[in-house]
Amino acid sequence: MHKASTWSWRLAGGTNTSNPKWKGVVVAAKATVMDNHAQPGQVLGQIHWDDSFVRELPGERAQEGQDLTRPRTVKQALWSPAVLTPPGEDAGQGTAGEARRGPRTICVSHDVAEMVGADAKSLEDEEERTKLAECLVGSRPLPPGAVPYAACYGGHQFGNWAGQLGDGRAITLGESVATEGKRYELQVKGPGKTAYSRMADGRAVLRSSIREFLMSEAMHALGIPTTRALALVDTGADVMRDIMYSGDPRWEPGAVVCRVAPTWIRFGTFQLPASRGELELVKMVADYLVKYHMKEFANLPKEEKYKAMLDEIVKRTADLVVGWCSVGFTHGVLNTDNMSVLGLTLDYGPYGTVEEFDPSFTPNTTDLPGRRYCFGNQPDIALWNIARMAEAWVQADLLTLEQAKESVSAYPDMFRTLYDKHFAKKLGLKKTYSPEILDELTLLMAEDKADYNCTFRSLARFDVSADASETNSLLQPLLDGGALLPSQLDEQQKSKWAEFLLKYKELARQEDAEFLERRAASMDAVNPMYVLRNHLLQTAIDHAEEGDYSEVHKLFALCQRPFEEQEGIEERYARRAPSGTKKVGVTMLSCSS
């Protein structure tokens, strides 16, 4: 284990060896999904499958009869063949339980189904939903062309090099080649052990799976780059977990999520082979990335191509973190293995959304001692993570140290430019916006524990054309909108807010008349009415664990139109957590999943 500074630009060296013969692995992996005569069903069966990742990149050499679920160190390979273990087959092995009944599909995204070229209409048919569930848990064969594998990668966890990590409970089924040649990799999270499971069981529980499914689709609706979710499935088997690592484990319902991304390549995909001196693999991943996912740079000469790719990763990452800042999203586990090279929100674990504004907010109990991954640190952590990946590129001679420094050094200004541009929209200011007015607002929000999203949403209700200057009248939109609680405001703080609002009104009045006419609508388009708050998710989880999925479906429908006030939806869905729910296990979570 070692800590690395942002500009150390060093990784552990090693001796590169020739690549193993790996093509036979694909045949072995295909064989595992075609032994059964049952049909996979229409949802997955209509997809045009490809296997470019395993076809073009070196994988682990598997022997006939080898136990693919045995944890092991994997070298000179970017993936290992994998198999979905049907629920109950691993019962009695530590924390995996018996299958109580067959799997069932809880929730599906028709939008994602259409995106990947699946038969979305068939999702209305209960028999097809059952077939989909059975495919995703491993009790029904996958369609021809699907080649399941687990990716090999490493990463820094909480600032320390962790070595080999890999897909410990995620198995990629393959790639769909959809319209216009767009590629999407379908991956199942929680289907059993892989080569990278280490001491874990490779399973996922219902609570974490609900959280991943819903937030994946919610973030997409918010316009924030993210991986997507096709389906949420209750496996019918229980899994034992110690939620708070308190020595009190309990059985929980098991589940899987079928999640989707153009690629699951992470910063850590480059880091692990570089740390071992397997520098050819670093280049192979970069070349694969540019061939399929950054085609605009494919024909550039070497001395320009990889620099352009790194610049793009920096830009996408900055844009991603601005999106998080916009809605108060806090990832919770921003390790380098949880960072996507495409700038997507990746791996939804103990995340949370800022409610009572506090830049030091962290939803992850594991992060509490140092708050490394708190809300306010995310921009800097993203920069640190980019630098770690850039080290691997330098070591593999994809670009020079000077080029890497230039790319990474561009991040702070790029982030600030994107940030100010976005927050000007959130404040409904154009030519009169300044970082100072935002700083003044957030300072007040922190002092009085203002609700983060409700504050920005409420400012659109603030009538900047009115001449009212009386304190209570000025504050009323913020009180009505749930931004401020009267019990948390003394007279001095009320005066501070009134002073700020008068200043804000004066700035807004200087904008063009045409801009002011559409000000409220423009602000509502970037300030969500609804975000998935942890207490709402926990209520849905509590119901689901009793077999009632109605609240899951309600949140799924709600989060697809986050910027619109939806008729018939109670006010509590747009408000901060009640005081009784602000506790560990609800608004704060562990990494247990």
* % the chain with pLDDT above 90: 81
Packing angle, helices 471-480 and 452-459, rounded to 10: 120
- Among 360, 346, 343, smallest CA distance to 414 is for 343
Mean pLDDT of 308-322: 99
**Distant-in-sequence, close-in-space partners of 561: CB < 8 Å, separation ≥ 6:** 221, 530
Q: Quick one: how far is CA 450 from the chain centroid?
A: 26
pLDDT tens digits for 54-101? 999 999 988 888 899 999 999 999 999 999 999 988 877 778 778 888
Residues 6+ apart with CB under 8 A from 272: 152, 153, 154, 155, 163, 164, 165
pLDDT for position 33: 43
Residue range 346-391, pLDDT digits in tens:
999 999 999 999 999 999 999 998 999 999 999 999 999 999 999 9
Of 387, 246, 411, nearest to 312 (Cα)? 411
Unique residue bearing structure tokens 């320009």: 304
CA 325 to each of CA 106, 415, 418: distance values in angstroms, whole numbers, following the listed order: 31, 11, 11
Sign of CA dihedral 169, 175, 178, 182: positive
- Residue 20 has a pLDDT of 35
Residue-level length of the chain:
593
- 352-353 and 329-330 beta bridge pairing: antiparallel
Buried b (16+ CB within 10 A) or exposed e, 290-320: bebebeebeeeeeeebbbbbbbbbbbbbbbb
The per-residue DSSP string of 334-359 comes to: --GGG-BTT--B---SS-EE--B--T
Confidence of residue 587 (pLDDT cuts 50, 70, 90): confident
Using alpha carbons only, give the angle 368, 374, 380 rounded to the nearest 5 degrees: 130
Q: CA distances (Å), 380 to each of 55, 387, 399, 518, in order?
A: 37, 11, 23, 35
Average pLDDT of the chain is 91
Closest C-alpha to 156, from 286, 7, 333: 333
Which of 44, 26, 128 minimizes the C-alpha distance to 82? 26
Q: How far is CA 532 from the centre of its chain?
A: 14
Of 314-323, 347-356, 481-490, 572-581, least confident by mean pLDDT is 572-581
Give the pLDDT of residue 590. Answer: 72
Find the mean pLDDT for residues 435-464: 97
pLDDT at 155: 98
Residue 409: predicted pLDDT: 99
Task: Identify the three-state secondary structure at position 546.
Answer: coil
Residue 91: name the closest of 258, 254, 247, 257 by CA. 254
Please calculate the CA angle 574-578-580 and round it to the nearest 5 degrees: 155
Q: Which ranges of 57-118 would DSSP assign to H, the alpha helix? A: 110-115
| Full-model pTM | 0.92
Q: What is the pLDDT of residues 510-524, one digit of tens each?
A: 999 999 999 999 999
For residue 103, what pLDDT band results from cuts at 50, 70 and 90? Answer: very high
Reply yes or no on whether the pLDDT at 29 is more than 50. Answer: no
Sorted by sequence, the CB contacts under 8 Å of residue 501 that are 6+ apart come out as 462, 474, 475
> Contact at 8 Å (CB) between 175 and 288?
no
As a whole number of Å, the CA-based R_g of the chain is 25
Per mean pLDDT, which range of 38-47, 92-101, 132-141, 580-589 is the poorest? 580-589
18 pLDDT above the threshold of 60: no
Dist. CA 318–CA 414, nearest whole Å: 7
| Cβ atoms of residues 197 and 188 within 8 Å | no
Q: Does residue 21 register a pLDDT over 70?
A: no
Q: Is the pLDDT of residue 266 over 80?
A: yes
Residue 10, pLDDT score: 21
* pLDDT digit string, tens, across residues 153-211: 999 999 999 999 999 999 999 999 988 889 999 999 999 999 999 989 999 999 999 99
In the predicted model, is pLDDT for residue 580 greater than 80? Answer: no
For the chain, give every domain's residue range: 296-422, 429-524, 535-581
- Helices and strands (DSSP H and E) totals, the chain: 20, 14
Amino acid at residue number 530: Y
Tell me what pLDDT residue 285 has. 99
> pLDDT by residue (tens digit) across 107-150?
999 999 999 999 888 999 999 999 999 999 999 999 999 999 99
* Active site residue ranges: 337
Is 451 or 4 the better-scoring residue by pLDDT?
A: 451
pLDDT recorded at residue 62: 81
**Half-sphere exposure at residue 185, Cβ-oriented, CA atoms within 13 angstroms:** 24
64-73: long-range pairs with CB below 8 Å, 24+: 64/28, 68/32, 68/194, 68/195, 69/192, 69/193, 69/194, 69/195, 69/197, 69/202, 70/193, 70/195, 71/193, 71/195, 71/196, 71/197, 71/198, 71/199, 72/195, 73/164
Q: Which of the two residues, 240 and 334, has the higher pLDDT score?
A: 334
